[in-house]
């Protein structure tokens, strides 16, 4: 491939995946040029400002803007000229019918097609339906010709799928400590190139090449959707059990602990609560259901997973109404906007769904989130019924109850005896089972978790 040494990397789309990926490769010693089509976002990053909350990214951005190992542009042609390996990290949002909208990937492929003049490796990192990478390759070469330019018949591109498994809020931690690096390719000659790309990481974490799973393009694409569908299944499964526990006064936390002690099941993703949200799990689950349908398969197992999750907000609010009665005109404290802790991402946050429902019922809301308030304001029309508060205790002042909707760890460190005194009625509806009921009871609170039986 390139005679240049070291390799140069282009990362297209500097969002939650692209920016940490770009900076991760800069930290590994590669020269990285990041391309962001949104000029405002690109300018922010140029100014060493991170457009979202992600641990460690600001420090690496500063470090590698100064070291010269990372630069930003909106100019695709310039980046394609400079880089040997091009990472596609653009969004693949959900369409109205639930399928994945791959138009950003296709548009980027067209832009790359117009810019590529010499051989490049194009890596699809975005999560996309099986066979998307083949379509991307067709666009890149301007016709079906196995990576060769139709007119010149020169090999100009290879397409590789390296799906991203990072967790938002821990993107860099996951970049530097991957559990596996899945590489889908149809040209085996690329294996050593990909291994060399990650070699500095393997050396840094003293990891052998067995971390790689080399496979075909389709298996790599399916592996990513399967992983997210399985995680979603675990969450909906335990939430279904939580509904039973709530009915019969059993404790879902104990049940989850018992099954989690079996290594065949494991403890992760077995926390009952108001369900999963965010940009990835819901959309990837819906997309996978559509992929099943398109292939004439029965994916009703996953449809049930989606249904259980869609019912969570209803189930939670029914519990609130059961104890508080008619909610209209009452004041509730809302703790948490982000779809999970350590991020300011409110996309498809269950908290936002709860807030919308309560605003429609004319409930006054006093809202706290340590990071996500600005992002919430940017993405939502904010009702006059909502007051944003600087601290959890300020949000609780005069409230009929506290609703915990994001399990920020700092919420369990509050002084609940003090909180109890400032509220109209000291009641907590812990939608994430994040607090210790015994601490709350001792402080004088009425505590309601999800499926906790007599403990709640």
Ligand X SMILES: NC(=O)c1ccc[n+]([C@@H]2O[C@H](COP(=O)([O-])OP(=O)(O)OC[C@H]3O[C@@H](n4cnc5c(N)ncnc54)[C@H](O)[C@@H]3O)[C@@H](O)[C@H]2O)c1
Sheet with strand 31-35: strands edge to edge: 70-73, 31-35, 8-12, 85-88, 120-124, 157-161, 181-185, 212-215
Among 86-94, 242-250, 253-261, 327-335, the segment contacting ligand X (CB under 6 A): 86-94
Give the one residue of 1, 7, 37, 240 binding ligand X; rule: CB under 6 A. 37
Interface of this chain with ligand X, residues 171 to 210, rule: CB under 6 A = none
Burial 335-372 (b: 16+ CB within 10 A, else e): bbbbbbbbbbbbbbbbbbbbbeebbeeebbbbbbbbbb
Nearer to ligand X by Cβ, of 35 and 159: the residue is: 35
Give the one residue of 22, 32, 86, 90 binding ligand X; rule: CB under 6 A. 90
DSSP 377-443: HHHSPPPTTEEE-SSHHHHHTT-SEEEE-S--GGGGGS-HHHHHHHSSS-EEEETT--S-HHHHHHH
CB of 107 to ligand X, least distance (A): 5
Cα distance between residue 403 and residue 242, in whole Å? 18
CB of 51 to ligand X, least distance (A): 8
**DSSP state letter for 298:** -
Cα distance between residue 326 and residue 329, in whole Å? 8
Interface of this chain with ligand X, residues 131 to 170, rule: CB under 6 A = 164, 166, 168
Give the one residue of 8, 9, 10, 16 binding ligand X; rule: CB under 6 A. 16
Establish if 108 lies at the interface with ligand X (CB under 6 A): yes
Among 87-95, 133-141, 289-297, 376-384, the segment contacting ligand X (CB under 6 A): 87-95
Q: How far apart are the first and last CA of the chain?
A: 62
Establish if 104 lies at the interface with ligand X (CB under 6 A): yes
Nearer to ligand X by Cβ, of 185 and 281: the residue is: 281
Number of residues that bind ligand X (CB under 6 A): 27
Nearer to ligand X by Cβ, of 115 and 187: the residue is: 115
CB of 20 to ligand X, least distance (A): 9
280 is catalytic: yes
Establish if 280 lies at the interface with ligand X (CB under 6 A): yes
Give the one residue of 8, 9, 10, 17 binding ligand X; rule: CB under 6 A. 17
Interface of this chain with ligand X, residues 40 to 79, rule: CB under 6 A = 41
Cα distance between residue 38 and residue 16, in whole Å? 14
CB of 267 to ligand X, least distance (A): 21
Give the one residue of 22, 35, 201, 346 binding ligand X; rule: CB under 6 A. 35
HSE-CB of 1 using CA atoms within 13 angstroms:
23
Cα distance between residue 276 and residue 262, in whole Å? 23
Among 100-108, 246-254, 361-369, 445-453, the segment contacting ligand X (CB under 6 A): 100-108
Establish if 282 lies at the interface with ligand X (CB under 6 A): no
Burial 10-19 (b: 16+ CB within 10 A, else e): bbbbbbbbbb
Q: Which residues sit opposite 22 in a β-bridge?
A: none
Among 30-38, 146-154, 313-321, 425-433, the segment contacting ligand X (CB under 6 A): 30-38
Among 83-91, 305-313, 318-326, 436-444, the segment contacting ligand X (CB under 6 A): 83-91
CB of 100 to ligand X, least distance (A): 8
Q: Which of helix, strand or coil describes residue 8?
A: strand
Q: Which tokens go with 173?
A: 């931690």
Among 36-44, 151-159, 240-248, 371-379, the segment contacting ligand X (CB under 6 A): 36-44
Check if the beta carbon of residue 282 is closer than 8 Å to that of residue 94. yes
Catalytic residue among 245, 280, 389, 420: 280
Cα distance between residue 307 and residue 233, in whole Å? 11
Give the one residue of 91, 147, 282, 292 binding ligand X; rule: CB under 6 A. 91
Nearer to ligand X by Cβ, of 103 and 267: the residue is: 103
Residue 333, H or E segment: strand 331-335
**DSSP state letter for 48:** T
CB of 287 to ligand X, least distance (A): 9
CB of 112 to ligand X, least distance (A): 9
Establish if 36 lies at the interface with ligand X (CB under 6 A): yes
Check if the beta carbon of residue 238 is closer than 8 Å to that of residue 272. yes
CA 167, 169, 175 angle in degrees (round to 5)? 55
Nearer to ligand X by Cβ, of 375 and 430: the residue is: 375
Give the one residue of 26, 65, 124, 126 binding ligand X; rule: CB under 6 A. 126
> Burial level of 298, CB count in 10 A (0-12/13-18/19+)?
exposed
Give the residue numbers marked as catalytic. Answer: 280
Task: List contacts with ligand X (CB under 6 A).
Answer: 12-18, 35-38, 41, 89-92, 104, 107-108, 111, 126-127, 164, 166, 168, 279-280
């Amino acid at each position: 491939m390139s005679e240049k040494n070291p390799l140069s990397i282009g990362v297209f789309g500097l969002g939650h995946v692209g920016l940490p990926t770009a900076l991760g490769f800069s930290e590994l010693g590669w020269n990285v040029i990041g391309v962001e089509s949104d000029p405002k976002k690109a300018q922010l990053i140029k100014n060493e400002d991170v457009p979202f909350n992600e641990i460690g990214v600001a420090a690496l951005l500063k470090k590698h803007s100064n070291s010269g190992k990372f630069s930003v542009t909106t100019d695709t042609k310039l980046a394609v000229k400079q880089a040997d390996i091009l990472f596609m990290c653009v969004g693949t949002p959900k369409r109205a019918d639930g399928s994945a909208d791959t138009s950003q990937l296709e548009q980027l492929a067209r832009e790359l097609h117009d810019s590529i003049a010499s051989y490049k490796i194009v890596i699809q990192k975005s999560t996309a339906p099986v066979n998307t990478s083949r379509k991307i390759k067709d666009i890149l070469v301007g016709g079906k010709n196995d990576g060769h330019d139709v007119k010149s018949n020169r090999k100009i591109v290879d397409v590789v799928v390296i799906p991203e498994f990072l967790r938002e809020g821990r993107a860099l931690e996951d970049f530097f400590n991957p559990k596996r690096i899945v590489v889908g390719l149809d040209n085996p000659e690329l294996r050593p190139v990909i291994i060399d790309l990650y070699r500095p990481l393997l050396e840094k974490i003293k990891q052998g090449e067995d971390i790689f799973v080399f496979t075909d393009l389709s298996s790599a694409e399916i592996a990513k959707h399967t992983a997210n569908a399985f995680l979603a299944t675990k969450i909906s499964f335990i939430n279904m059990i939580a509904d039973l526990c709530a009915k019969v006064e059993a404790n879902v936390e104990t049940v989850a602990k018992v099954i989690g002690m079996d290594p065949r099941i494991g403890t992760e993703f077995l926390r009952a609560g108001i369900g999963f949200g965010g940009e990835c799990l819901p959309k990837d689950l819906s997309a996978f259901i559509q992929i099943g349908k398109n292939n004439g398969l029965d994916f009703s197992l996953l449809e049930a997973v989606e249904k259980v999750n869609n019912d969570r907000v209803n189930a939670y609010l029914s519990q609130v109404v059961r104890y508080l009665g008619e909610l209209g005109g009452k004041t509730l404290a809302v703790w948490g906007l982000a779809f999970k802790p350590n991020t300011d991402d409110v996309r498809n946050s269950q908290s936002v769904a709860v807030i919308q429902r309560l605003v429609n019922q004319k409930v006054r809301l006093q809202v706290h989130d340590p990071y996500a308030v600005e992002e919430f304001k940017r993405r939502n029309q904010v009702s006059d019924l909502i007051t944003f508060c600087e601290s959890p205790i300020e949000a609780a002042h005069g409230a009929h109850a506290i609703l915990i909707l994001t399990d920020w760890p700092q919420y369990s460190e509050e002084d609940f005896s003090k909180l109890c005194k400032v509220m109209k009625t000291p009641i907590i509806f812990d939608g994430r089972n994040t607090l210790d009921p015994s601490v709350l009871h001792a402080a004088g609170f009425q505590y309601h978790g999800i499926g906790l039986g007599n403990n709640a």
